[in-house]
A and B are shown apart, each in its own frame.
Chain A
Amino acid sequence: DVKVTQSSRYLVKRTGEKVFLECVQDMDHENMFWYRQDPGLGLRLIYFSYDVKMKEKGDIPEGYSVSREKKERFSLILESASTNQTSMYLCASRPGQGGNTEAFFGQGTRLTVV
C-alpha cells in the first residue's frame, strides 16, 4: 500500500518559533509537494521539488522554505512562525513523469500558531 506520511497530525507552536513539518514517501517518487489548505481557499502550492536538493517556489512561498536531502523526505520549514500561518498543511508525491499520474497525499498536519 502506497504511503505518504506526515510526522504530526496536530502541532501547536508559538509565534516566532522555527517549525519543521516532515513528510516521507515510500513510493520512490521524484516529485514532492507542500500545499496549505484553508477554508474557502482550497489548496495552494507552497513549494515543490522534482529531485533531491532541487526546489521550486509555488504560488505562496513567502515565509516558508523547504529541504530535500533524500529522495523520500521533503521538509517544510517555517523560519519564524506567525499566526497567519495557522493552517492545514498537506504533503503530496507524484511519479517523475507527472502529467497524467496520480498525486498521493498525506493525512495532513494541522498547525496552530499562538
Chain B
Amino acid sequence: AQSVTQLDSQVPVFEEAPVELRCNYSSSVSVYLFWYVQYPNQGLQLLLKYLSGSTLVESINGFEAEFNKSQTSFHLRKPSVHISDTAEYFCAVESGYSTLTFGKGTMLLVSP
C-alpha cells in the first residue's frame, strides 16, 4: 500500500526567509510524486511533479522539490517566500488505478 507522511502540520516563517516542507513516501508501484497547493477557500492545484529523469523539479513560482530514492523523500523548498505563498501544501503519490494518495498537508504561514 502507498502512503505519504508530511511531518509538519504547520510551518510558520517570515517573509523572504527560506522554507522546506518535508514529505516521505512509501510505494510499491512506479514512483510518481506530486506537490499540490490549496489557497484559502479554493480547490487543489498542481505545483510540481516528479515522473522520471532529473531528481530536481521546479515550479514556475520558485518552488523546487528533490526526489531522493534512498531516503524515500520528496521535500519541497523555496529560497525566499512571499506572503502570497501562505497556503496548505499536500504531497501525493501515485497509487495505481489512476488514484493519488495524499499526505495530511502542511500549512505554510508566511508573516511580514
- Identify the closest chain B residue to A42 (Cβ): B104
Contact among B6, B45, B94, B104 with A105 in the assembled complex (CB-CB below 8 Å):
B45
Task: Enumerate B19-52 residues with CB–CB distance to A below 8 Å.
Answer: 30, 32, 34, 36, 41-46, 49, 51
For residues 19 through 77 of chain A, which have their beta carbon under 8 Å from a beta carbon of chain B?
30-31, 33, 35, 40-45, 48, 50, 56, 58
Number of interface residues of B (CB under 8 A): 25
Report if B100 contacts A (CB, 8 A).
yes
Which A residues are CB-close (under 8 A) to B6? 42
**Known: A98-B97, A100-B49. Is A42-B43 also a contact (CB below 8 A)?**
no
Shortest CB-to-CB span from B94 to chain A, Å, is: 6
- Please report the C-alpha to C-alpha distance between residue A81 and residue B34 in the assembled complex, in whole angstroms: 33
B30 touches A4 (CB 8 A): no
A44 to B100, CA, bound (A): 10
Query: With A99-B30, A100-B94 given, is the CB distance from A43 to B46 under 8 Å?
Result: no
Is B98 an interface position by the 8 A CB rule? yes
Given the complex, which residues of A lie within 8 Å of B97, measured CB to CB?
48, 50, 56, 98
CA A41 to CA B9, docked complex, whole Å: 10
Given contacts A4-B43, A41-B104, A102-B49, contact A48 B94 (CB under 8 A): no
Contact B94 A108 (CB under 8 A): no
Tell me the B residues contacting A by CB distance below 8 Å: 6, 9, 30, 32, 34, 36, 41-46, 49, 51, 90, 94, 97-105
Q: Which 4 A-B pairs have the closest CB atoms?
A: A98-B98, A105-B43, A42-B104, A43-B102
